[in-house]
Amino acid sequence: MIRINCPFCGERDHSDFTYGGDGSIVYPELDAPAEEWVEAIFQRENIRGVQTETWHHVSGCRQWLVVERDTMTHEIHSIKAAHEGVAKVLEAGK
């Protein structure tokens, strides 16, 4: 079991969450060439090591989180809210 320390709810089992996937993807503009969209939607670096990924706290606060996790050891290095404005407010409140 991976334990994920949700910035809203505290530490929970990973079964509270759903895995969103690669969090480093930046989607192109809507009118960008098709190749850029193919790259963003289908192509993955598939890192063995620390990767940025998203998790959805679906059985908790229902917030999306951006997590840095090692895909070999499952160790989590950082967690923050995916919404940048919310993440800033949380950071300021610490």
Partner 1 sequence: MTRFSAWSVFRNGLSGQSGWTRQWRDPEPKKQYDIVIVGGGLHGLATAYYLAKNHGLKNIAILEKGWLGGGNAGRNTTIVRSNYFMPGNRQFYEHSLELWENLSHELNYNVMFSQRSHISLLHSPGAIDGAARRYNTMRLTGTPDAEIWDLEKLKQNVPHLNYGPDCRFPILGAAVQKRAGTARHDAVAWGYARAADALGVDIIQNCEVTSTSRSGNSITSLTTSRGEISAKKVGFAVAGNTSRLWQMAGFNTLPIESHKLQAFVSEPLKPLLDQVVVFGVGGAHFYISQSDKGGMVFGGDLDWYKSYAQRGNLPIVQDVAECAVSILPCLGRVRLLRHWSGVMDMSMDGAPFICKTPLDNLYLNAGWNYGGFKASPASGWYFADLIANDRPHETIENFNLDRFAQGVSLDERGAGPDPKLHG
67 within 8 A of 90, measured Cβ to Cβ: no
Q: Which of 5, 8, 36, 38 binds partner 1 (CB under 8 A)?
A: 38
Phi, psi of 21 (to 5 degrees): 120, -165
Amino acid symbol at 62:
R
| Interface with partner 1, residue 53, by CB under 8 A | yes
Q: Which of 43, 77, 84, 88 binds partner 1 (CB under 8 A)?
A: 43
Distance linking the first and last C-alpha atoms of the chain: 28
Q: Which residues bind partner 1 (CB under 8 A)?
A: 1-2, 13-15, 18-19, 21-22, 34-35, 38-39, 41-46, 48, 51, 53, 71-74
